Structure formats: C-alpha cells, structure tokens
Amino acid sequence: MVAKLRSYWKMIKSLQTGLLLLTGLAGYMSARCPVFNLDTILGLTGSLFLAISGSTVLNMCYDRDIDSVMKRTCTRPLPAGIISTSEGLALGLILSSIGIGWAWLIDPLYGAIVFAGLFFDVLVYTIWLKRRTAWSIVWGGISGGMPVLAGRALGMGQIDLPGLVLALAVLFWIPTHIMTFNMRHYDDYSAARIPTFPSVYGFGFTQKVIAVSSVLAAVAMVLFVYLVGLSNEYKQLIAAFSTVLLLIAIGSMLRPSKTVNFGLFKFASVYMLGSMLVILFQGL
C-alpha cells in the first residue's frame, strides 16, 4: 500500500504541483484577504491541489507512450508498468473531478478558471497540440497561469487587470523552464518525435526566445507590483529579483551558451518562487 501511494505521489509531480499551488495562494493573498479566513484558504489549497494533480496524472496517462521512449521519463509509474493505464486514468479523473467540483462550490468564477486551466492543459496542450507543433508551449503557458488568476479572482470576486498581468508573468516564465529542458534533453524529445523549439528553429533562436521570455516575465511582475501597490520593502525585493533576472537574460542574448542558459533557467525558477512568496507574505 505504501509503495502504491509513493507511485501515486510520483505521478502528480509534487514540485511542479506545489509551485503552481503557491501561485494560486499568492494570487489570493494579493487581494489582501483576511489571512484568518481559514475556510476559504483551505478550500483553495485543497481544490487547487486536487485539480492540478488530476490534470498532471491525466497528462501522464496520455503521454505514457512517449514517456516510455525517453530516458528521463521511462521510469515513471505508467511506462514502467507499476501503475496500469486504467488505474492511472481513474486516479486522474477522480482527483480532477473532486478538485473542480470543490472549486465550483467555493465560487463559480473561481471554479470556471480552475476548469479552464485543466481544459487548456489536458485537452488543448497535451492531447491536441503537443505532438503537432512546437508552439503548443504557448497553450501550456496559459494553463500554467490559471492557478494564480483563479486565486486572484477568488480574492477580488472578479477578473481584474492585475490578475491578468500576474498570469502573464507566469505564462512568460514557462518557456524558460520548458525550452531549457527541451535543449538539455534534445535526444529524448527527438526519439519521442515531439516538435520543440530547438528541433524546429535551432538552439540559437531558442536561447534568444528564452531570454526574451524571461525579460517579459520580469516586466509583467514589476508591472503587477505597481498596479497593486505593494509596500516599499516588497517592491524593492521584487525589483532586485527582476534586475538580476534581466541582467542574466541580457547576458544570455549577447553571449548565448549552454552554461549561461542553464543559469538563467535556475535563477528564473528561484525568481518565480521568490516573487510569489513575497506577494503571499505581503498579503499577511
């Protein structure tokens, strides 16, 4: 039983799910809602965790064939035969259905945005576009921006401009993460016949796209900070984070290399995590 639960845990990609969950909480707290509104906070945490986890499991079910030919993913529970396809599908449907249903009960607008995230991630990105075009990453980015938009909408009672800008910051951050993986595991993606920016447009162009995307993510984050009027201490923190990200991104554009690009990838992840924590604590 413990081994089975560990396999289930691997299928939800806990680090990725945790970061997206953090963006949702940061979006909610950016509305400066009462921190002691525990019912809402716990409901947001539970519903988002289940919906994101379910979406991830459903993606793994659909991608089990390509995961089996990639060295990086062939040991995952589904391609390794530890979890059956029917069992994985049932798990994904149960988790996502409970998560979306719970979100809808909390607030219909919040529930609709959470559902939109799953729709773009599973149906549009994974099933429809991932195996057809390198530009599928745009739609994957949109789904990645839905948790923070959902959290912000739940706190504000509506979709507002700061919420959309914050979602854009996440959308622009995602290419830095995904495209770097595409380059580092180029042979894997080629073996699986998945079109990526490095395979379609080359490494040089991809490095430039990553750099530009990082710049846009930083610009969107700074714009959000000023739209919501964070205190000076928090503004200075995010300004410092953004300055470092911009400098690394510019360096990546001027002198592209695998080392600089991977450094940008690592700092961009720290940047997004740190920025979301700043926004979250500002709301406390």
Dig out the tokens for 184 from the structure: 């580092």
Instruction: Output DSSP code: residue 31.
Output: T
**CA pair distance 228, 163, nearest whole angstrom:** 10
Sort 113 into a burial class: Cβ within 10 Å, 0-12 / 13-18 / 19+: buried
pLDDT confidence tier of residue 237, bands split at 50, 70 and 90: confident
**CA pair distance 278, 35, nearest whole angstrom:** 15
The pLDDT value given to residue 137 = 92
The pLDDT value given to residue 36 = 58
Cα dist from 70 to 23, 63, 73, 74, 260, whole Å: 29, 11, 5, 6, 25
- Between 38 and 195, name the one with better pLDDT: 195
What is the set of domains in the chain, with CATH numbers? 9-282 (1.10.357.140)
pTM higher than the cut 0.75: yes
The pLDDT value given to residue 230 = 78
Give the pLDDT confidence of 78-132 residue by residue, as tens digits.
999 999 999 999 999 999 999 999 999 999 999 999 999 999 999 999 999 999 9
Q: Is 192 helix (H, G, I), strand (E, B) or coil?
A: coil
Torsion of CA 267, 270, 275, 277, to 10 degrees: -170
The pLDDT value given to residue 89 = 97
The pLDDT value given to residue 46 = 98
162-176 burial, b at 16+ Cβ within 10 Å, e below that, comes to: bbbbbbbbbbbbbbb
pLDDT confidence tier of residue 238, bands split at 50, 70 and 90: confident
The DSSP line for 58-116 is: HHHHHTHHHHTT-TTTTTSTTTTTSS-HHHHHHHHHHHHHHHHHHHHHH-HHHHHHHHH
The pLDDT value given to residue 33 = 61
Give the pLDDT confidence of 255-268 residue by residue, as tens digits.
777 777 778 888 88
Task: List the one residue out of 16, 5, 17, 21 whose CA is nearest residue 277.
Answer: 21
The pLDDT value given to residue 184 = 85
- Between 247 and 126, name the one with better pLDDT: 126
Q: How far is CA 14 from the centre of its chain?
A: 12
Whether pLDDT at 196 is above 60: yes
Whether pLDDT at 34 is above 80: no
The pLDDT value given to residue 131 = 95
Whether pLDDT at 283 is above 70: no
Task: List the one residue out of 26, 21, 31, 46 whose CA is nearest residue 158.
Answer: 31
Whether pLDDT at 27 is above 80: yes
Percent of the chain exceeding pLDDT 70 equals: 97
Task: List the one residue out of 111, 215, 155 whose CA is nearest residue 163.
Answer: 155
**CA pair distance 103, 100, nearest whole angstrom:** 5
Dig out the tokens for 263 from the structure: 């450094």
Mean pLDDT, rounded, of the chain: 91
